[in-house]
Amino acid sequence: MTVPCTVEIMDRLADANSLVELLGDWTTAGGPLYRKLAGAVARSIEVGDLPAGERLPSERDLAKLLTVSRATVVAAYDELRGKGLVDSVRGSGTRVSARPRLNGTGADGRVPGGRATSIFQRLVDGPGSIISLALAVEPAAPELLAAYRDLADGELADLMADVGYHPRGYPPLRHAVSEHYTAAGLPTDPDQVLVTTGAQQVIGLVAQMYLRPGCTVVVESPSWPGCLDVFRAAGARLVGVPLDDEGVRPDRLATVFAEERPVLTYLMPTFHNPTGTLMSASRRRRVAELAARFNVPVLEDNAYSGFHGGDAPAPPIGAYARGNAEILTVGSMAKGVWGGLRIGWVRGPAAIVDRLARYKVRADLGSPVLDQALSARLLPRLNEIAAARGEVLRARLEHLQALLAENLPQWRWRSPDGGSALWVALPGTSAQIFAQVALRHGVEVVPGSATDPSGAHDDHIRLPFTFRTDTITELVRRLARAWADLQRHGPVTDTNKPVI
C-alpha cells in the first residue's frame, strides 16, 4: 500500500482549510446539516470565490475539519452535483463545474475570499445571535458626543464654508497629529503627515506604492489577517518572522532581510495584534538599525490600543530612524475613540508622504472633513481617553482570565502587555476544528491559521475582552461547552447511518 507523503497530506488539508474559511458561520443556517453545508459551498461558487475547475477537498478531509460525519459531506456534494454546481470524476475528485454562475460576484452580499473573509463578513452581517470573536470593538467614548456639541456650537459654520477637499488632510488635524508624535518622542512637521480614511486605508495605499506581483513582504508571525489579505491581493509573497516577549526577533529579522531582500516590512510594535506584545525600546532601536542597514522600508502600525499593562509604550520605531531609513508610522482614532470615526493617518519622510498623497487623492479626493475636525479636537486628549477605556478593559481582562482558569484550565495564554485580546493556545487541538464546534455552541472563533499561513499557530485563537462582563461570562460558558463536546466526542467519525 502506498502511503501519501506528509507534504501531500498538508497540501490537501490546506485546501480544506481554505474552503472552511470561505464557509464562515455556515451552521447557523436552517435545515439539515448537509443542506447547510451544500448551501454555503454553493454561495462560494456562485459569487466566484470558488472558480470553475477548482478542486474541492475530499469528503474525508473536509469532514475532519468541519467535525461532521463523512456521510454529511457526501450528501452535501451530492446536492451540489444535483444542482450542476460541481462534477465528480473517478481519480480526479470533485471540481467546480464550468457551467455559468447563477449570480455575479457579491450578488448575495458575501465578502470575496481571503484569510480575513469571516472577519469582514461579520462587519457586513452584524453579530446576529452568536458571540463573534472576529472583532475587538467597543461603543464610542463619551468624549465624542461632547466634541460633536462643541463643534456645532463653535467652528461648524466656518467649516461648512470651506471647500471641503483636503487630499492631504484637514490642516488643523495634520498639525494636531504632528504635535501628538512630537510629544511622544518623534519630532514631526505637518508636511510629514497624511490623513486617511482609517488605518486600513494606509495599508492599501502603501501596498499600491511599494508592492508588485512576486515581491516579498516581511510580517510578524502571527499577524493580522486583514492586512495580510491586502498584501496578498497585491501579489506579494509573505515571509513571517517570529516574536518573543520583546517583539519581533531581530536575529531572525536580519537573516530574512539578508536572504529575502524584501521591499517592505509590516510590524505592530505597540500591543501587537493578536498577541498583545509591547515591543521594547531597545528592540525598536534595533529594528530601525536593521531597516537602515538593509535599506528595507518599515510600516509600523500603532493603531491598536486598549489597556496598558505597565509603563507607557516607548517612542515609535520612526523615532530611532537614521540616515535614509524609510519608516512609516500609522495611527488611528478607531480603537481609542470609536470605530465609526474613520480617521487614521501616516507619518513618514516628507517625500514618501507626498507620493502617498497622490495615491490618496486618486482613491477618494480626501477623507470626511467633519470627522477630521472632530478628530482634531479629540487627538490632544487621546492618551487620556485611551487610559480611561483601558481601566475598563483591565477589569474585563481579569474577569475573563479568572473564568478561563476555572472553566478551561487546559488552555494556555500569556497575559498581554496591553491591547484588547488574549492569544490562547488550545493544547493538542486544531483551532480550525474547534472553531467548527464552537459555531454550533454560538461562538464565532477566528483560528490561528488565519493569522499565520506557516501553520505555526494553528492551535491558537484570539479571544477579545472588549465585551461587557455578563457577555464574557456567557462567552466562556459556551466555549467550555464546545471544548467539552470536542474532548468528549472528538471530530465526528465516519458513519454508515443514513443522512436523513
Q: CA angle, 224 as apex, 218 and 227 as ends, to 5°?
A: 70
**6-96 and 143-381 share one CATH topology?**
no
CA–CA separation, 76 and 337 (whole Å): 45
Beta-carbon contacts of residue 449 (< 8 Å; ≥ 6 apart)? 17, 431, 432, 455, 457, 458
Cis peptide preceding 139, ω within 30 of 0: no
pLDDT given at position 494: 37
| Domain parsing of the chain, residue ranges | 6-96, 117-140+384-489, 143-381
Query: Hey, what CATH topology would domain 143-381 get?
Result: Aspartate Aminotransferase; domain 2 (3.40.640)
**Which class is 6-96 in CATH?**
mainly alpha
Chain segment 434-482, per-residue pLDDT in tens: 999 999 999 999 899 999 978 899 999 999 999 999 999 999 999 999 9
Regions of the chain where pLDDT drops below 70: 1-15, 99-128, 490-500
Would you tell me how many other CB atoms lie within 10 Å of the CB of residue 383? 17
Phi–psi pair at 25, nearest 5 degrees: -90, 60
With beta carbons less than 8 A apart as the criterion, state whether 327 and 318 touch.
Answer: yes
pLDDT given at position 49: 84
CA–CA separation, 434 and 491 (whole Å): 9
The model carries a pTM of: 0.82
The CATH number given to 117-140+384-489 is: 3.90.1150.10
How far, CA to CA in Å, does 92 sit from each of 2, 6, 53, 83, 84?
Answer: 18, 20, 11, 20, 17
Chain segment 311-342, per-residue pLDDT in tens: 778 999 999 999 889 999 999 999 899 999 99
